Structure 1
Amino acid sequence: MLRLDRPLRLLLLALGAMFAQQTFASVGRGLPSVVAPEVIEELALDPAWYGIYVSLAALASLGFQLGCGSFILRYGALRLSQVALVMLAFGLAAGASGLILFFILSAIIGGGGAAVSTPASSHLLGRYSPPRYAPLVFSLKQTAVPAGLLLAGLLGPALAGWTGWRMTLLVAGIACLGFALMLEPLRHEFDSDRILSQRFRMSDFWTTLKSVTGTPVLRTLAMACFAFNGLQTVFTSYFIIFLVEQGQDLASAGGIFSAAMLVAVPGRILWGWLGSVLLPPRVVMAGLALGMAASTVLLGAFGAEWSMLLVGLTAAALSATAMSWHGVLLAEASRLAPPGRRGAATGGVLSFGQVGAFLLPLAYAACLSLTGSHGLGFVVCGLPALLVGLALLRGGGRQQAEPTAYSTAT
């Protein structure tokens, strides 16, 4: 019988636990977008208003990610992972009420829960990952995001057709609570690095932000995260609504969306492997950024003569880029973080992603409201990715020559 040494066993256990945690978190955050067409129809809402919900969730995520570093250090990454799932459960339950006030609470609580899950899991994996292969390990963990969205796209419409959208949200919330309880036996090992003397201070927000903006390599990652996460949020929030307004039923739209998400799973692994073995992570991210921009131009050119197969292929190209950057970027943020501050640095970089997730859906909603064009919204939201891609190419491989080596993240 094959026996694995303890470090490898712990790495595999951490990877498995955080993969599952991120899957549940992704389902919890993605499901409202999947059932949004039914919510909009039942409550007689303008689709452009959904961008407000998405942006409010991103604004809440910004605050939680900037402030979660101290809580990760004090209570442990696994405990914060559990807290994230509990918050998502309550957010889904609030949305199931159908009341506007509770939708606001849903965006804040659910957005905060989803935001905490990634820095917490990154802090935990950073302890156990071999530094050289961190991009691959983080990419494997982050394949849970498209996997969760795939499940949401497949199961969401089926459950909504069977039980209604309200019960669908409640079922997902119960699942998040159940898995949070299942993580408890792992806490003794994975939260063994807690610093009980750590205290949260309001200045932590500024400290985290300054640690990112004051470090050139982290600042570059923050700008990339702004563009990438903003476009990802637009894609996952509006693509199904876009398809339904083009005449697709919810089940078919969910199927196309899930097929596109499926592409992101091997995509994340491939980009993580390239960033670990063949190319500098900065170059990989530049290629992804340019691919995102090109995909949005194609989606913006959508016309009535397009077949759904062609739309699906374009969506798959966008998914392979806008849904597949996470492992490479997160591994770089963890690598370049000060010792013992992986969670805080990752949260700081991701907070800029939440700014993008706040602003770009608003830009998309404005384009949709003013022109009625989904295509123009996608093109506008792809422009930041184009600018980031060009900036990363101009920077070349300089980031690799920074004095901060992989060993600082261990």
Structure 2
Amino acid sequence: MTTDASVSDRPGEAVSLPWLLAETTIIQALGTAAVLTVPALAPAVALTLGVPSSFVGYQVGLVYLAAMLSSLVGGAVVSRWGPCRTGQTAMALTAAGCLLASIPHLAGMIAGSLAIGLSYGLINPSASDLLQRHSPAHRRNLFFSIKQTGVPIGGIMAGLIGAPMAVAFGWGAVLWAVAATCIVLMLALERGRARLDAHANPATRLLRSAGLGLTTIRSDRSLLMLAAASFCFSAIQLCLVAFLVVLLVEELQMGLVEAGMVLAAVQVMGAVGRLLWGHVADRIHSGLAVLTGLAALMAVVSTTILFVSPQWPLAAVIAAFMLLGPDRRRLERRLSFRSRAPQPPARRRLGHRHRHIRHLRRRAGGADPVLVRAQSCRQLYRQLRRSHRPGPRRRLSRRRHLAARSPQDRRRGSQPGVNRRLRPAIVAGRGATSACRHTDSLTQKASDTP
């Protein structure tokens, strides 16, 4: 059942798309607000704790260290508990982390930062699973983009709302407000949890998939280089978020509220840049060229910021930081999908598919091996079709080639764009696809059995 307002993957169970989109976006915004609240209020927090403001870098490092560890098992947690329960767990951890961080002691800040980081690593897997399952395919990219706007929204909340509230009531009140909002949202999610978590498999092992991402990156040099570039981009952006308010307050003698407004402006520029650079990459058909140009721009602007002083015009300071604000992660994700396209050696291509099939069979638990093999063949067939899907120029040349062929060759039905060694796999995949239409429900029932 699919309509404009709801969609469902099970008969009689419709999910409200506006509610689902609002839920995932608000969770993303609250998680980001919790991460950025302490950096946005770093001078006031450091004064209370009796440490230098530069120590905020260690706090951000703890948050993202915990987020990195929890993200390794995020997919398995979603599979075992369900995406809605995972989102509730993330909100509970966020609330606990904010309450711990509000304690005016260094130990409380450390414990709170770790809890906030653990929650942040679970937010994206749960939201992605919900949108992937329940959003219509023709609007899925739009829904994911809207959900991701929760990141700049959270930054705007920390800058525009957090700084004035800290001046009026103290920085602890900001963390209490975030914690209270997370608790309210966690309780509100219970209403539709049973329906959204109906596909959860309690037999899933949490640590089994922890190293799959690292193994995939290590086995592909292009992904390894892209991960290294993403590391450099993220390092610059996290340094900007962590030390922007400290720099503006302590070096440029700006007020905390004004510095929060600059932080909010940088987050707005991040949202605009996400759309702008993605559009540019689509127009020139080269995400790598756009990322290279952005890397050069970031290097120049970062060097320029070394010479920032109170004598600089305020507009020039804000413009310099806003140039560092645009989010490049959308381009990196898009480029990562392209870098995983099959490369010339056919055996290497099929080797990746066979490893994927072995992983599916391990994850199937007590499922019938015949059904698992059919399911794997269907996924292999889909990947092979995507791998050999021609681009616009190749489609045009293929049409000309077919027009020039004789009627006998056309009736023969050969496929000039597909390697002959892959045709048996494609034929088998087509048969498996037809068979799997009748066995999907049996496979799901068997795989859910402990």
| TM-score bucket (shorter structure) | 0.7 to 0.9
* Distance change >3 Å, CA 333–CA 88, structure 1 → 2: farther
For 1:52-71, what aligned pairs fall within 5 Å after superposition?
52-71=58-77
Q: Which whole-Å CA distance do the structure 2 matches of 1:181 and 1:35 have between them?
A: 28
2:34 match: 28
The equivalent of 2:82 in structure 1 is 76
Q: 1:177 aligns with which of 169, 172, 183?
A: 183
Q: Secondary structure, in 3 states, of the residue corresponding to 1:97?
A: coil
The 1:217/1:132 distance shift into structure 2, 3 A limit, reads farther
1:250 is the counterpart of 2:256: yes
Contact 2:74 2:121 in 1 (8 A): no
- Which residues in structure 2 correspond to 1:226-241 (within 5 Å)? 226-241=231-246
After superposition, the CA RMSD in angstroms is 3.2
Q: What secondary structure does 2:211 align onto? A: helix
Q: 1:58 to 1:254 in 2, by over 3 A?
A: same
User: What CA distance in whole angstroms lies between the structure 1 residues aligned with 2:146 and 2:388?
Assistant: 24
* Aligned equivalents of 1:125, 1:10: Cα separation in 2: 11
String of CA shifts for 1:255-275, please: whole Å, max 9, x gaps.
111122222222223334455
Corresponding letter in the other structure for 2:318? G
Residues 139 and 328 of structure 1 are in contact (CA less than 8 Å); yes or no, is this contact kept in structure 2?
no
**Alpha-carbon spacing, 1:185–1:330, altered in 2? closer, same or farther (3 Å):** farther
Contact kept? 1:29, 1:88, Cα under 8 Å: no
3-state SS of the aligned residue for 1:204? coil
Change (3 A) 1:208 1:230: same
Secondary structure of 2:310's match? Answer: coil
Does the CA contact (< 8 Å) of 2:97 and 2:112 recur in 1? yes
- Which residue of structure 1 aligns with residue 328 of structure 2? 325
Mark the runs of 5 or more structure 2 residues left unpaired by the alignment.
9-14, 342-351, 357-384, 390-450
Deviation at 1:55, TM superposition (A): 1.3
Confirm whether residue 110 of structure 1 aligns to residue 116 of structure 2: yes
The residue number in structure 1 matching 2:218 is 213
Number of paired residues? 340
Check whether the contact 1:139–1:327 (CA below 8 A) recurs between aligned residues. no
- Say whether 1:403 aligns with 2:387: yes
For 2:130, give the aligned amino acid: L
1:224 equivalent in alignment to 2:229: yes
Map of 1:139-288 to 2, 5 A cutoff?
139-201=145-207, 203-245=208-250, 246-274=252-280, 279-288=285-294
Specify which structure has the higher proportion of helix. 1
Are 1:73 and 1:195, in contact at CA under 8 Å, matched by a contact in 2?
Answer: yes
Structure index of larger Rg: 2
Q: 1:326 to 1:103 in 2, by over 3 A?
A: same
8 Å CA contact 2:7, 2:136 repeated in 1: no
User: d(CA) in 2 for partners of 1:135 and 1:180?
Assistant: 26
In 1, Cα distance between the equivalents of 2:247 and 2:142?
Answer: 33
Judging changes above 3 Å, is the alpha-carbon distance between structure 1 residues 204 and 254 closer, same or farther for their aligned structure 2 residues? Answer: same
Q: How much identity, in percent, do the aligned residues show?
A: 25
| Contact 1:143/1:269 (<8 A) preserved | no
Please tell me whether the aligned partners of residues 95 and 182 of structure 2 are also in contact (alpha carbons under 8 angstroms): yes
| Residues 245-302 of structure 1: CA deviation (Å, up to 9, x unaligned) | 1201111111111122222222223334455676344444444433333332232231
Q: Give yes or no for contact 1:86–1:177 (8 Å, CA) kept in 2.
A: yes
Cα distance change of structure 1 residues 77 and 94 upon mapping to structure 2, 3 Å threshold: same
TM-score by length of 1: 0.73
Q: 1:404 to 1:27 in 2, by over 3 A?
A: farther
Q: Distance in 2 between matches of 1:281 and 1:132?
A: 23
Determine helix, strand or coil for the equivalent of 1:183: helix
- Within the candidate set 18, 22, 37, 2:24 is matched to 18
